[in-house]
Amino acid sequence: MNDQQLVELLQKVPRELPVDDALWVGVENRLKKRGQKINRQAVVAIAVSLLLLLGAVMVLELYQRTEIKPSSLVSNPTERPIIERHGFLRNGAGMQYANHIESEFGGVQQHYRILYSFAASSVPEDLTVELIESLDLIEQSARDIRAAIKVEPDAIYLAQLLMGLYQQQMNFLNQTLVKYQQLNDDRTVI
Amino acid sequence: MADQTASSATQYVVERAQKGDVKAFEILYQEHIGRVLGLCWKLTGGDDSLARELAQDSFVRAWEKLPSFRGDSALGTWLYRLVVNLVLTDKRSKKRRMKLEQVVDMNELQIAGQSGDVNARIDLQSAIVKLPERARMVLVLHDIEGWKHKEISASLSMAVGTSKAQLHRARQLLKEVLVR
């Protein structure tokens, strides 16, 4: 027998084998499991990515931003007569000014609340009690002032009081954040 | 005309499967599983359970890789290459041991190769799977699957000359069995 004859014989060897249905069932099950696994992995990956992103942003902000950006209102509130500067109506000028202050400070307050929550989470609880009480006191004061403005909507001095309170609140938070940061640094070094 | 229609139908099924349609993939599976299983069986030296496992692995891998199939070659060509690579990777991982390793038992080959009856081709097949591993793989890929020595040498990480030598060895062993 020469090579050619052998190759001709080999060409006749069946290429296929008979297959039973169980083989496809096995493949199908694995595909389904794989799909579920990939879905779970995707959900976990997205969740972890979001958490990491949020954490990274917060840490970055905490370590890089230690000063509050003074708003135009805070920088020099009495530079020009408030009513003229903002174009408020005479009637209800205090209320309008208070609303303006609220919107001006709102974003910054939210920003600092997040930073504070993040920083406080790694600080012993007993060190945060006093701060929480102080913040509660400021919040209560703000509510009182807003209630007073509703009674006297023309009173610009009440709105100015509110602004001073917010400024105090943020200075307070800012100093606390710096302090917490130092505490965390010290603990990391230890 | 009929070929074109069949080709278009296959292309459509492939596209559906690429988009994640399991039913479409099952059609492709049904079309190729017999040959894939046969190839796995020969390459693994006639190990039924390992061949079935690798055939399943092959289709799971094909499902994963299918989106990257561009249609440059026929689906079968692409799939059988994938199967061969998977079998080789499995061997290299050494997590599994193939049966019927290097020692050639000529008596076994002879019994398997005695082929004067209607089961001749089946007996020849049995003789093939009892060949030494590398010789068997080269013979299967070259003489049955139609691969070139260059392709075999690349896949099996051997020189082209070695591939030719292994083919010669495999043929000699088979001829010895068949002429007895």
* Residue with token string 């309008």: A96
pLDDT tens digit sequence for B89-98: 888 775 445 4
Structure tokens at A134: 């102080």
Q: Would you say residue A122 has pLDDT above 80?
A: no
Interface predicted TM-score (ipTM) of this complex, two decimals: 0.74
pLDDT tens digit sequence for A129-184: 767 777 777 888 888 888 888 888 888 888 888 888 888 888 877 777 777 777 76
pLDDT, residue A189, reads 53
Is the CB of residue B90 less than 8 Å from the CB of residue B54?
yes
Q: How many CA atoms lie within 13 A of A10 on its CB side?
A: 26
Instruction: Give the CA dihedral B140, B145, B150, B156, nearest 10 degrees.
Output: -50
- Among the partner-chain residues B56, B122, B139, the one whose CB lies closest to the CB of A30 is B56
Contacts of B174 in chain A (CB under 8 A): 6
Q: What is the spatial distance between Cα B69 and Cα B25, in angstroms, rounded to a whole number?
A: 13
Top residue of A15, A21, A34 to mutate, by most chain B CBs within 10 Å, is A15
pLDDT, residue B70, reads 86
Q: At residue A85, what are phi and psi to the nearest 5 degrees?
A: -60, -40
Beta strands in B16-168 (DSSP E): none
Contacts of B30 in chain A (CB under 8 A): 24
pLDDT tens digit sequence for A70-114: 444 444 445 346 666 676 676 788 888 888 888 888 777 777 777
What's the helix, strand, coil split of chain B in %, to 5? 75, 0, 25
Q: Would you say residue B105 has pLDDT above 60?
A: no
